Amino acid sequence: EEEVPKNPLAFVVLLAPPGVPGHAILRLQMRRLLEASTTPEDLREAILVAQGRLLAASSAKDEAAMREAARDLATAQASVAGAGVVTDEMILQSAEGMVEQMNSPWMQVFLEVDPAAILASIKAPVLVVIGSLDLQVDPGQNLPPIKAALRQAGVPSQVRVLEGRNHLLQPATKGSIDEYGVIEVTIDPTALGLIVEWVVRT
């Protein structure tokens, strides 16, 4: 019987990767996206407070607190959206959707798992590529633990921050989500080029 290799991975390429648990990413992500928007300061604060309560309630597995925080968050977000008439039923549906998403198995893993702990045990060369304008996975928050984890792993690694690129590695102005669909470039050819060059070399 043929022996299974201990490390079947020749290399790992991480695009806009998290380096901290999801609950920390979502808190900063919301703040940065709001700062890049035209949302009034009082509504920004209301959204951030409600989101914080929702994340805390999710971590504590407190369904009642989750539903209350989700309703407050949906209410604040509806005020920002300016979508005309917003009914109580619409708020409730939005809040229920949030609770369902927070309770999904994927989200529960995303919120609690520490990616840096996994990276610290990796046995293959790693390339990390992230945009300087990434508002969803903030480079300042995520790159330090990623770099520390890769040092601990002791594998060949390279971390590249692409200036002026967003979460999707598109050339961007602000990095906000509303830019994604209007930027004609799907992914910056520079990013593709450096990935190909690194993979071939590695």
Note the pLDDT tens digit of each residue in 5-35: 566 789 999 999 999 999 999 999 999 999 9
- Give the helix, strand, coil percentages of the chain, each rounded to 5: 55, 10, 35
pLDDT for 88: 87
Looking at the chain, the whole-number percentage of residues with pLDDT higher than 70 is 94
Q: pLDDT of the chain along its 202 residues, tens only?
A: 666 656 678 999 999 999 999 999 999 999 999 998 888 888 999 999 999 999 999 999 999 999 999 999 999 988 876 656 778 899 999 999 999 999 999 999 999 999 999 999 999 999 999 999 999 999 999 999 999 999 999 999 999 999 999 999 999 999 999 999 999 999 999 999 999 999 999 9
Segments of the chain assigned E as strands: 12-15, 126-131, 157-162
The pLDDT, as a whole number, for residue 83 is 55
